[in-house]
Amino acid sequence: MYACIKIGGKQFCVSEGDRIEIPLKAKVGEEIEITPLGFHNGKEFITEKEKLEKILVKCNVVEKKKGEKIYSFKKKAKTGYKRGIGYRDILCVVEISKITDKSKER
């Protein structure tokens, strides 16, 4: 059983217990609930909006850390112009704690 979610401007296919790194502003220990874009229950892949509204993906923010450094460098020949810019994203490590399907609970 897995779900396809959109979080932090990116899409991920996740199952329970997975850990993903995303650029998200959240505090450590915070719980996030996400409605998935798609859900696979073992038999079929569900994409209908009415059925997906009954499914929730619960995530816990485990830690925050800095991502890989991205470095950009500009140079113009024969003029002596050089400029370097470095940037690191602050990433949240999110653990998928539970995928609940409320349509089965009847």
Amino acid at 55: I
Domain ranges, ordered by start, for the chain: 2-64+93-104
Kindly calculate the radius of gyration of the chain based on its CA atoms and give it in whole angstroms.
Answer: 19
Q: pLDDT digits over 19-68, tens only?
A: 999 998 899 999 999 999 999 988 899 999 999 999 999 999 999 999 99
| pTM (2 d.p.) | 0.76
Structure-model confidence comparison of residues 41 and 103, the more confident one: 41
Q: First vs last Cα of the chain: how many Å apart?
A: 19
Quick check: 29 and 94 in contact, CB under 8 A? no
Distance (Å, whole) CA 75 – CA 9: 31
